Structure 1
Amino acid sequence: MGRIRPTYIKRVAIDLVNKYPKAFNDDFENNKAMVGSLTDVSSVTMRNRIAGYITRYVDQVEI
């Protein structure tokens, strides 16, 4: 079992994927760079958590 992510991380991640569907894919490094450029998240940990959730979310939605 994995960690349960807080709702605010999921909300931000899903909003970003809905606004910029072509910007994200299943590559974590790409998603990390895109989250850093598209948002004003000041915390590196928060950016990485959002990018990680986007990576798993995009992979799950494509199936």
Structure 2
Amino acid sequence: MGRIRQTFIKRTGEELIEKFADKFTSDFEENKKAVEEVAMISTKTLRNRVAGYVTAKVKKMNA
């Protein structure tokens, strides 16, 4: 079973995918940089969690 993510992380990740779909890939490191560029997220931990969520969503969409 997977981890349950907070609503904030899911909502933010989905909004970023809708607005900036072309910036995200299935690579976590690239997504970290992209999230940092396009979103105003205050902490590194939240940035990484959002980037991880976006990475998982992109992998599912491409599968």
Where on the TM-score scale, by shorter chain, does this alignment land: which range?
Answer: over 0.9
Q: Structure 1: which amino acid aligns with 2:41?
A: V
TM-score by length of 2: 0.95
TM-score, normalised via structure 1 length: 0.95
What residue in structure 1 maps to residue 31 of structure 2? 31
Displaced runs of 4+ in structure 1, greater than 4 A? none
Equivalence for 1:48: 48
**Distance apart, 1:61 and its partner CA:** 1.3
Distance 1:40 1:7 in 2: 17
> What residue ranges of structure 1 are gaps of 5+ in the alignment?
none
* Matched residue SS, 1:22: helix
Aligned-pair Cα RMSD in Å: 0.7
Give me the whole-angstrom Cα distance separating, in 2, the residues matched to 1:42 and 1:3: 22
CA distance in 1, matches of 2:39, 2:4: 22
Question: Partner letter of residue 24 of structure 1?
Answer: F
Q: List alignment gaps of at least 5 residues for structure 2.
A: none
- Percent pairwise identity: 44
The equivalent residue for 1:11 is 11
